[in-house]
Structure 1
Amino acid sequence: MIKNENILSKLLIITAVILLLVFGYLYSLLDEIEVQYTIMAIFTLINIITLAYKQSSIYKKKNNIKNLIKREGEWLVCQSSGINSPSIIVIDKIGEIRISMNYLSFIEIGHGQGYGFEVKAHANVIMTHLSGLLKPEEIKEMKLDIV
């Protein structure tokens, strides 16, 4: 496993470029390439570039739990990724918090409306971050369910 994510990201981009050059070379040699091979090559390139982006430090910084879940006064501002618009949750109305690997949900007191968020982190990292945002007396009033 490559330890430096930036090196992995660059290797994936280089792999995509090499595959594109090989495809272009084969296309110039052959009279005709079947449509399914062209579609397969395009999807392979898209997958490699997407994987390279998700391994980059830019993506990881943008989707860090500290950037996705913030406290602003009496509200928690949460979003699943840097792309989605945030949801604002009143802390006093949170009755239950459910945490699992890569997932966090809040359930409101009373009507049971819930908010679910995909967060790329282990359950203990999510819990540690929430413990830093919420006051101990607020946490005591909520039911915690760590899966």
Structure 2
Amino acid sequence: MLFDISKLFLTFLSLIGLITIGVMHCCWQIGQGWDVGGADNVAIAANNLKALGGKVGVYGYKCEQISCHDDTEIVLCNDVANGSMKNAYYINPDAPYLASYAEDILRDCYLYQWFGDHREWFSCGQYFDTDHYNVIVRRPQNQYGRCL
């Protein structure tokens, strides 16, 4: 799944203080409108990404789903292009390193909801790396809200 990122929008959010590069934000702090994913599924998706090993890549100004389990996806977004050739700036960080960002989001951006006599935990967030990419944990944005 690929989609464009608006550099102007990210710059605007940074200027008005809603995001800071090198910092994590929970979904409810930045108003992206993303739905939360199941906390257990974040952990499974992160473990799957670790097990993958190697590197995961994405071109400039693009986002790519890099792991998904049930109702939770991990997305890698490249915030940088190379001059006028928007797709020329390819990044490929280590998969286990990206998984650690998802685990950080799970640790710091969680909430729960009661269902009868038990509660279920959820997570959603975005972590901006200083190397101009970010990792998102959220519910998949398809019509089913599930991994396909």
Larger Rg: 1
So what's the TM-score if we normalise by structure 2?
Answer: 0.25
In terms of fraction of residues, the more helix-rich structure is: 1
Q: Which has the higher strand share?
A: 2
**TM-score of the pair, normalised by structure 1:** 0.25
